[in-house]
Amino acid sequence: GQNIDQPTEMTATEGAIVQINCTYQTSGFNGLFWYQQHAGEAPTFLSYNVLDGLEEKGRFSSFLSRSKGYSYLLLKELQMKDSASYLCAVKGGATNKLIFGTGTLLAVQP
Amino acid sequence: EAGVTQSPTHLIKTRGQQATLRCSPISGHTSVYWYQQALGLGLQFLLWYDEGEERNRGNFPPRFSGRQFPNYSSELNVNALELEDSALYLCASSLRAPGGVRYGYTFGSGTRLTVV
């Protein structure tokens, strides 16, 4: 089976840096995704990692260690609009579908 | 390019009734996925359709069913509605691998189903 763990909630200050961790267990691995979801809206794609290392995209970066079953999403220069849920999702298993963690609700404070 | 569209946006039903939710994928996407997001919970995988066939279903009772049409649009049907079926139902589409792997799924804005 697949299991994905991430913190339920985090709080950070505007302008700061925050790291959201995700650990996973899967019987097959074909990539890890991060999505952002504002309240009442659809999840939107942020990043994709399939090889170990860091992927940088503007203020957002995502890191993957396949041997440790670990990923993090790094958000720099936080803005108020970054307040949202951040969903870690793993593609793998017998059917290769995308399985989501419960999400981390990030609150950015002034 | 139009995104994934879902209808209706909101749906209110009485316990025991049936609900039908609709989804149109991005043009060229052949896979459609349905997820349930109950309040305070993560996205729970419901169903996956590709090329008109059901490829996989999540851990939901048989009263959750659906189909995919020749134009790749999809319907999700929920029979004998229960109060706990109240949730946001999200549809996503993707290209078939390998082209779709890099970008995961594109989600629609969802249908908020309320069962009273």
Model pLDDT for residues A9-49, shown as the tens digit of each residue: 999 999 999 999 999 998 888 899 999 999 888 899 999 99
Arithmetic mean of pLDDT, A90-105: 84
B110–A95 C-beta distance less than 8 A: no
Instruction: Give the closest of A33, A42, A102 to B108, CB-based.
Output: A42
Strands A9-13 and A104-109: parallel
Residues 6 or more apart whose CB falls under 8 angstroms from that of B17 comprise B81
Q: How confident is the model at residue B101 (pLDDT cuts 50, 70, 90)?
A: low
For residue B84, pLDDT beyond 80? yes
Indicate which of A34, A38, A90, A100 best probes the interface with B, i.e. most B CBs within 10 Å of its own CB.
A100
pLDDT at position B110 is 95
pLDDT at position B96 is 65
Indicate which of A91, A104, A105 best probes the interface with B, i.e. most B CBs within 10 Å of its own CB.
A91
Which of residues 10 through 39 in chain A touch B, CB cutoff 8 A? 30-31, 33, 35
Of B62, B36, B66, B35, which Cα lies nearest the Cα of B52? B66
For residue B97, pLDDT beyond 50? yes
Query: Would you state the torsion angle of the CA atoms of residues B40, A6, B90, B31, taken in this order, to the nearest 10 degrees?
Result: -160
Cα A67 from chain centroid (whole Å): 18
Of A52, A47, A58, which Cα lies nearest the Cα of A20? A47
Q: For chain B, where are the E strands, in sequence order?
A: 5-7, 10-13, 19-24, 31-37, 44-50, 53-57, 64-68, 74-78, 87-94, 106-107, 111-115
Q: How confident is the model at residue B1 (pLDDT cuts 50, 70, 90)?
A: low
Task: Answer whether B22's CB lies under 8 Å from B73's CB.
Answer: yes
Quick check: A3 contacting B, CB < 8 Å? no
* pLDDT tens-digit readout, B8-35: 999 999 999 999 999 999 998 889 999 9
Quick check: A88 contacting B, CB < 8 Å? no
- Quickly count: other Cβ atoms within 10 Å of residue B38's Cβ: 14
